[in-house]
Structures are given as structure tokens and as C-alpha cells.
Amino acid sequence: MGSRNDTDNVGTETITALWECNTLEKAQSLCSSLGSAAFPLQNFISNTYNTSTSTEYLDSHNPKTGKIFSRVPISSAEEVDRAVQDATEAFAGWSKTTRAVRSACLGKITKLIEENRELFAVWESIDQGKTLERARIEVDRAISNFSYFSTYILHEENTVRMIDNVALTYEHRSPAGVFALISPWNMPLYLLTWKIAPCIAFGCTAVAKPSEVTSISAFLLTEVFRRASLPAGVVNMVFGNGATTGSALVKHDKIKGISFTGGTATGIQIRKDTAHQIYKHLSLELGGKNPTLIFEDVDMEKAIATAAMAAFENQGEICLCGSRIYVQKSIYATFVTQFTAHVAEKYQVGQRIGAVVSLPHYQKIRSYLALAEDEKAVFELGSLPPSTPENGYWIAPTILTSVSPTSRIMTEEIFGPVVTIYPFEDEAEAVSLANGNPNGLAAVLLTKDGARIRRVGEKIEAGLVWVNCWLVRELGTGFGGMKNSGTGREGGAFSREVFTNLRTLHVPDF
């Protein structure tokens, strides 16, 4: 097992090589020159690249070619412990810094990502499979995550009350401690920074673990922290899988809170693993199987564009995607025809549709499409992709009808470019279909009827309801799910709840 002195220059060399490629052409040419070699990543602990020499590595592939792209260390419990210890030491200082100091630090990080926007977008697109255009949108959101919290902390307010002119009560908040920040592979930089930014803004320190499937943008982010002179140990990045690295991290007794985004099964495991550690703050944002409800009064063209975007953006690999479309019977047939034509024209593979993230994920999506064939669903668009993909993990947008509402296709999260369309009679049936799923993350409601917006919108069991739009975000609003889609909310003051401890002081007259 490596010691604290086993730093080598592998991490620095990899960063330098990646950092020089800030255009798609340069990055692709670097990838081609690698042959069967791959970029080795290293943990970033106390601002130093450092991974034990005995560590095993995972191969991570470029989804658009299927070729090996990076080697991701599976950090052991000892490596995780080292990161947590350093984050704990750093917490002593960072938690006492002023808001102005933390705000300035986040400001520097914002600026550095802004200056390297294309670099991040290019590598995110290569690592995750998403289109470059989509990657740029997500880098912009990473920038907003830091800029939003850099100013939020300067303006936050605490409640002060006077009781009968004799006692003053006031809220006093302190940073909660070292956090485990665990993110998934679908929007790697966007979701990891959605956790790191509030964590350090509110005075906590972090041990972050990106998905082992998409670790590159997290690795590049470490260079931003170094260049921004973020004090050592404030953000530590450990790489690895869930079973070894993630599990050791969430169970560590010095971890005071966990912000996790990922699959529901993993969320359940994390709750079990930490059930005895009552002190841990838990924020879990889990899976969705989100409904899009389309009423007969809609402007058809706009409704089609919104429903298509909600279904197929980022290849359907967003937990907020509307993968169950329900359409009022009177317009059902017209909708199916026009929606299919729209998607066929606007969501072409290799243009607006990228590759899905990995071979196992390709096989997962394919298994649902095989089930659709077995169950005699109608493929309005798309077909069963080959069992062994040859040049990358490409799946065309697929629109299914004649699927039973109880089929696994309509009840389980597929997380790919697959959508079902199903008719409903009236509002009551629409609400019942929408709510007939154990998840409750998001929903889209498409109607021009103002009264219906409230009548239906307020009955939908979802943490986020988008009316005549999708994925419109304001970072101060509560973000998270109901039912099996998670625990807690993040965003603005909700993130403050996650990352701080609250004590209420009662001070009588004296």
C-alpha cells in the first residue's frame, strides 16, 4: 500500500496532455495516438495527485467508438480514509473562513471553468458519449453552479424573532463537516459541481467520487481547484467503483453527510449502510420514470417539441426525462403520427442523439427493447439494436405504442432513448396513470387551460412539475423527488439545510 510520499507525476502528466486539447480535433487526435493505451487517472488528495501503486484499475471506454479511453483507479478503503482524514483536517480551517473568502474562491473557480469551457465540453462529450452541443450546455450549468452559490452565501438570511419583548430567538448555522459527494455518469460535471459548489460555499469540505464510468471531467476539475488556489484538502477527489470506493466512503464514520445522485437501488444500499449513523445528513436524488401529460387543448407543434426534448435530450439519460407520454384520446392518433415524424427528423443519431454511456448500459436498454418485441409492442420509430455493437454504443430514438401500463417497459427506468405513448380519456385517468408508479421525481404537464394546470398539477406526485416546458431551472428552488425518487431537496436554502447544522438560540432579556 502506498504511503503519503508516493506522489508521482502520472496525474500531472495526464492533466497536461488533456489540458492541451481544447478542440474536438486535437482531443480526437490525442485519443487516436493512444492506440490501446489509456489515460491513467489519479486521486487528488490535499491538492496532490496520489494513488497507491497497488491499486487496481478499471478500463473506461469512449462510447462513440467503443475504444478504451481512460484507466480509473479503484481506490481502496485505505485511500478513502486518507482523503477523509485530510478533508477533516482542512475542515478545521475552511469552516472558519469568512463568507467573503469562500465567495471569492468560488468566483475564481467559476472564471477558470468559463475560460476552459470548450476544453471541458470536448472531453465530457468524448467520455460520456453526449453530443458536443449538449456537453456545452452542461458546462454552462457547472459554471452557474459555482457562480450561484458564490453569491448566495453573501445574501443568505437567518430568522430572528422576538418573543413577547422578553426573549430573542435566532438561528445559528455552522458547516456540518466533511461530505461524501457521489455522482452518476449521465451529466458528470453538471451534477458533481451541483454538489461541490454548495458544499464548499457553506464551509464544508468534501471527498467527491464521480462515477467510474465517466471520471474525466472530475479529474480536469482538480486542475481548476489547484489553479484557483483552493486550500489543500477542501475538495478531494477519489476515483473508483461503488462496491469498493463508494461504499467505503459513505460508511466512513468521519463523513458527516452524503449527497448522492444515482440509481434507486444504490440509494437504498446507502441508507442501509448508514442506518446506524444517525448523525449523517442524507440527500438522495434517485431514479425517475416521469410522465408527460398532453391534453387536447394544446398547441400541437409546441407540445410535440417539448415532449420530444423531454424524452430524448442526452439520449434519454437524464433522470428527469419524460419517458411515459400520455395523450388525451381525441388527439392521440394525430399526436403519434406527428411526434414520430418530428423525432425522426430532429433527433438523428450522431447529430442530436449521442452514444449511450457504456456497453452494459447499451445491453440494459436493448434488453427492454427485446422485451418490447416479445410483448408485441409497436415500434413507431426505432428497432431492436444489434446484440453486439461494432463501432460505439449507438441506439436510435425509439417510440413504442401498444405497451401495457403494467409492463416493465412502462414501469421501470430504462434511462435511454426510449419512450412509450399511451392514451387517456380524462383528467382523472391522466392523474391516475401519471401517479401509478413508485417513482415521483418529475412530470411535464402540457395544456393551455389555466384552471387545469392547478387542478392536475397539484395532484401529480412528483417533486418537480414542468408546465408547458421542461428542465427550466432556477437554482434557488427545491430540487428533488417524492416517493422512491429520493430523500431531501437541494438548491439555494435547501442546500443550506443539507450542508449546515442548525441550532436555535433563545436569549432572554438580561
Active-site residues: which are they?
Answer: 285
Which residue from 320, 355, 365, 443 is in contact with ligand LM24SWP5, where contact means CB under 6 A?
A: 320
**Single-letter amino acid, residue 492:** G
Closest approach, Cβ 183 to ligand NAI, in A, equals 6
SS3 298: coil
* Per-residue H/E/C for 443-505: EEEECCCHHHHHHHHCCCCCCEEEECCCCCCCCCCCECCEECCEECCECHHHHHHHHEEEEEE
Which residue from 129, 177, 184, 440 is in contact with ligand LM24SWP5, where contact means CB under 6 A?
A: 184
Closest approach, Cβ 242 to ligand NAI, in A, equals 2
Q: Count other C-beta atoms under 10 Å from residue 228's C-beta.
A: 18
Is 480 a binding residue for ligand NAI by CB under 6 A? The answer is no
Q: Which is nearer to ligand NAI, 192 or 431 (CB)?
A: 192
Contacts (CB under 6 A) with ligand LM24SWP5, residues 396-425: none
Cell of 145: 453552479
Is 269 a binding residue for ligand NAI by CB under 6 A? The answer is yes
Is 15 a binding residue for ligand LM24SWP5 by CB under 6 A? The answer is no
- Of the candidates 86, 258, 79, the one whose C-alpha atom is nearest the C-alpha of residue 176 is 258
Which residue from 415, 466, 470, 499 is in contact with ligand NAI, where contact means CB under 6 A?
A: 415
Judged by CB under 6 A, the number of residues near ligand NAI is 25
Is 236 a binding residue for ligand LM24SWP5 by CB under 6 A? The answer is no
Beta strands in 220-263 (DSSP E): 235-237, 255-261
Stretch that binds ligand LM24SWP5, among 181-189, 201-209, 391-399, 424-432 (CB under 6 A): 181-189
Phi, psi of 199 (to 5 degrees): -55, -50
Is 261 a binding residue for ligand LM24SWP5 by CB under 6 A? The answer is yes
Is 247 a binding residue for ligand NAI by CB under 6 A? The answer is yes
d(C-alpha 114, C-alpha 143), whole Å? 6
Stretch that binds ligand LM24SWP5, among 87-95, 98-106, 179-187, 228-236 (CB under 6 A): 179-187
- Of the candidates 313, 396, 398, the one whose C-alpha atom is nearest the C-alpha of residue 350 is 396
Label residue 402 left, alpha or beta by phi (over 0 means left) and psi (-120 to 50 means alpha): left
Cell of 8: 508521482
Q: Which partner, ligand NAI, ligand LM24SWP5, none, binds residue 461 by CB below 5 to 8 Å per kind?
A: none
Is 462 a binding residue for ligand LM24SWP5 by CB under 6 A? The answer is no
323, 424 in Cβ contact below 8 A?
A: no
Is 309 a binding residue for ligand LM24SWP5 by CB under 6 A? The answer is no
Label residue 102 left, alpha or beta by phi (over 0 means left) and psi (-120 to 50 means alpha): alpha
117, 142 in Cβ contact below 8 A?
A: no
Contacts (CB under 6 A) with ligand LM24SWP5, residues 191-220: 191, 194
Pairing of strands 255-261, 178-182: parallel
Binding characters for ligand NAI, 30-69, by CB under 6 A (x = yes):
----------------------------------------
Which residue from 237, 318, 414, 465 is in contact with ligand LM24SWP5, where contact means CB under 6 A?
A: 318
Stretch that binds ligand NAI, among 58-66, 256-264, 301-309, 428-436 (CB under 6 A): 256-264
Pairing of strands 178-182, 205-209: parallel
d(C-alpha 91, C-alpha 501), whole Å? 14
d(C-alpha 484, C-alpha 464), whole Å? 14
Q: Which partner, ligand NAI, ligand LM24SWP5, none, binds residue 479 by CB below 5 to 8 Å per kind?
A: ligand LM24SWP5
Cell of 115: 475560460
Q: Which partner, ligand NAI, ligand LM24SWP5, none, binds residue 473 by CB below 5 to 8 Å per kind?
A: ligand LM24SWP5
Helix (H) or strand (E) holding 157: none
Is 212 a binding residue for ligand NAI by CB under 6 A? The answer is yes
Cell of 49: 495527485
Closest approach, Cβ 28 to ligand LM24SWP5, in A, equals 27
Which residue from 131, 186, 236, 500 is in contact with ligand LM24SWP5, where contact means CB under 6 A?
A: 186
Residue 23 CB burial class (10 angstroms; 0-12, 13-18, ≥19)? exposed
Cell of 483: 416517493
Which residue from 119, 153, 187, 237 is in contact with ligand LM24SWP5, where contact means CB under 6 A?
A: 187
Task: List interacting residues with ligand NAI (CB under 6 A).
Answer: 182-186, 209, 211-212, 241-242, 246-247, 250, 261-263, 266, 269-270, 286-287, 319, 364, 413, 415
Task: List interacting residues with ligand LM24SWP5 (CB under 6 A).
Answer: 184, 186-187, 191, 194, 261, 285, 318-320, 473, 479
